[in-house]
Amino acid sequence: MPSCWLPPVAYTYEYKELKRAHRMGMDSIVADHDARSEELAEEEIVERIFEAVIDQRLPPGMKLSEAALCEAFGVGRMRVRQSLLLLSSREVVELLPNRGAFVASPTAEQAREVFEARVMIEPNVARLAAERATGDDLRLLEQHLRLEAEAHAGNHRRDAIRLSGQFHVLMAQIAGNTVALRMVKELVTRTSLIIGIFGSAGISNCRDNEHAEILGALRARDSETAARLMSEHLRHIQEHLELSGRQEGTSDLVAIFRR
Whether the pLDDT of residue 150 is over 50: the answer is yes
CATH number for 194: 1.20.120.530
Domain contains 213: yes
Left if phi > 0, otherwise alpha if psi is -120 to 50, otherwise beta: which for 50? alpha
The whole-number average pLDDT for the span 10-20 is 38
Which pLDDT band holds residue 244 (cuts at 50, 70, 90)? low
Which pLDDT band holds residue 161 (cuts at 50, 70, 90)?
confident
| CA pair distance 8, 14, nearest whole angstrom | 10
Q: What is the CATH number of the domain that holds 81?
A: 1.10.10.10
The whole model's pTM is what?
0.69
Which of 88, 105, 122 is where one domain is finished? 105
Domain of 211, in residue numbers: 108-239
Residue 40 has pLDDT above 80, yes or no: no
Average pLDDT, the chain: 81
Same domain, 164 and 216: yes
Q: Which residues, including other chains, have CB under 8 Å from residue 129's CB and lie 6 or more apart?
A: 137, 171, 172, 174, 175, 218, 226
Determine which of 59-68, 107-116, 130-139, 200-209 has the lowest per-residue pLDDT on average: 200-209
Looking at the structure, tell me whether residues 91 and 157 fall in a common domain. Answer: no
**Would you say 119 and 235 are in contact if contact means Cβ atoms under 8 Å apart?**
yes
**Cross-strand partners of 93:** 103
| pLDDT single digits (tens) 179-234 | 999 999 889 888 888 887 777 655 555 665 899 999 999 999 999 999 999 999 99
Q: Are residues 89 and 126 in the same domain?
A: no
